Amino acid sequence: MNCYDDFADFYNELMDCDYDKWSQFLVNHGCRGSGADLACGTGNITFRLAEAGCSVIGVDASPRMLTVAESKKKNVSNPLFRCQNMAEFEGTRPLDFGTCVCDGVNYLVSPADAAGMFGRVYASLKEGGVFILDISSEYKKRQVLAGNFFYEDGDDVTYLWTNTLKKGVVIMDLTFFAKKSDGSYRRFDERHEQRVYGEKEIVRMLSEAGFSDIRMFDDYTDKPVSAETQRVVFTARK
C-alpha cells in the first residue's frame, strides 16, 4: 500500500479544506514574492499563491499527486512542480517564503527529519523571509482520531478510515471503493502514518533551526490556540 498513490485521483473530491481562507492567511502573513510550497499535493495552495502574484514551486514526494497538479496548469512557468521528499528540500535560489500546510509536517514521522527540513527551509530563505506551516494538533490526534473510525459515502467514491495510535504515531488505514464506468466498484487500500507533534516541540525545533518571531494561530485565523484547537498554524521569521 503506497501513500497517496490511487488516492491522488480522488484527493480533490474528498478533501474538505477551505483553501481560499488558508491562502489568504498565507498572503496576509507574509507569503509574497518567490516561495516554495512543501508537501504541495495536487497544488491547491500552490495555484492560489501563484494567482495572488507569487512565483511558486510546489514540492511533493508523490508522482501521482504531481501528475494531477500538472494537469491543472494553465500557466506554463508558474507554478512549477518538483518531485522531491520535503525532508530533502533544497532551494535553488533565495526565497521570500516557504509553506507546508495540511498536515505536511505530521507526515515526517521522524522528528529528526522534521528538524532537518526546518533547517533546510531556513537556509533557503532570504533575511526576513517567512515560513508558515501547520500541524494536526496533539489534541486532534489523541482525542479525535486515535481509536476512531470514519467513513464518507460519495457519488463516485466511498472510503472507510480507521485510526490507531502507536508509539506517538497515528496509523491511518484507508479503504476506498471507486465507481467504474460500468457501474461496478474498484477497491484499493492505503496506509498513512502521521507523527503526533506538540506545539512546544515544533516551536523548539523552529527555534533551533534559527527562526525567530515564532507565533501560533488557530486554524488559519488570527485567534489564539486553545486546548481544543485541531489545526495549529505556525509563522516564523528568518
Nearest to 130 by CA among 25, 210, 21, 235: 235
Which stretches of 7-43 are DSSP H helices? 11-14, 19-28
Instruction: Indicate whether 84 belongs to any domain.
Output: yes
For residue 13, is pLDDT > 80? no
CA–CA separation, 227 and 149 (whole Å): 23
CATH code, 180: 2.20.25.110
Predicted pLDDT of residue 156: 86
pLDDT tens, 35-57?
Answer: 999 999 999 999 999 999 999 99
Any bridge partners for residue 185, and if so which? 179
- Could you tell me which residues come within 8 angstroms of residue 28 by beta carbon, excluding any fewer than 6 positions away? none
For the chain, what is the domain count? 2
For residue 5, is pLDDT > 80? no
CA–CA separation, 137 and 199 (whole Å): 8
Which three three-digit cell numbers place residue 13? 473530491
Handedness of CA 92, 94, 100, 104 (dihedral sign): positive
- For the question of whether the overall pTM of this predicted structure is more than 0.85, the answer is yes
Instruction: Indicate whether 57 belongs to any domain.
Output: yes
Same domain, 146 and 222: no
Which three three-digit cell numbers place residue 109? 514521522
- How do beta strands 157-166 and 34-38 pair? unpaired
Predicted pLDDT of residue 71: 92
Question: Among all chains, which residue has been given the C-alpha cell 525532508?
Answer: 87
Which three three-digit cell numbers place residue 92? 535553488
Rg (the chain; Cα; Å)? 18
- Residue 79: DSSP 8-state: S
Same domain, 132 and 84: yes
- Could you tell me which residues come within 8 angstroms of residue 176 by beta carbon, excluding any fewer than 6 positions away? 6, 7, 10, 157, 158, 159, 187, 188, 189, 190
Instruction: Indicate whether 156 belongs to any domain.
Output: yes
Same domain, 58 and 125: yes
Same domain, 107 and 219: yes
Instruction: Indicate whether 11 belongs to any domain.
Output: no
Predicted pLDDT of residue 111: 97
pLDDT tens, 146-169?
Answer: 999 998 887 888 889 999 999 999
Instruction: Indicate whether 22 belongs to any domain.
Output: yes
How many residues would you count in the chain? 238
Handedness of CA 150, 197, 28, 43 (dihedral sign): negative
Same domain, 61 and 128: yes
User: Mean pLDDT across the stretch 225-233?
Assistant: 97
Same domain, 54 and 156: no
The burial of 46, by beta-carbon neighbours within 10 Å (0-12 exposed, 13-18 middle, 19 or more buried), is given as buried
Same domain, 122 and 230: yes
Instruction: Indicate whether 6 belongs to any domain.
Output: no
Instruction: Count the helix, strand and coil residues of the chain and give each as a percent rounded to the nearest 5.
Output: 30, 35, 35
Instruction: Indicate whether 9 belongs to any domain.
Output: no
Same domain, 104 and 217: yes
Same domain, 94 and 26: yes
Average pLDDT, the chain: 93
76 vs 110, which has greater pLDDT? 110
Range of the domain at 164: 140-195
Predicted pLDDT of residue 2: 53
Predicted pLDDT of residue 1: 43
Instruction: Indicate whether 5 belongs to any domain.
Output: no
For residue 183, is pLDDT > 90? no
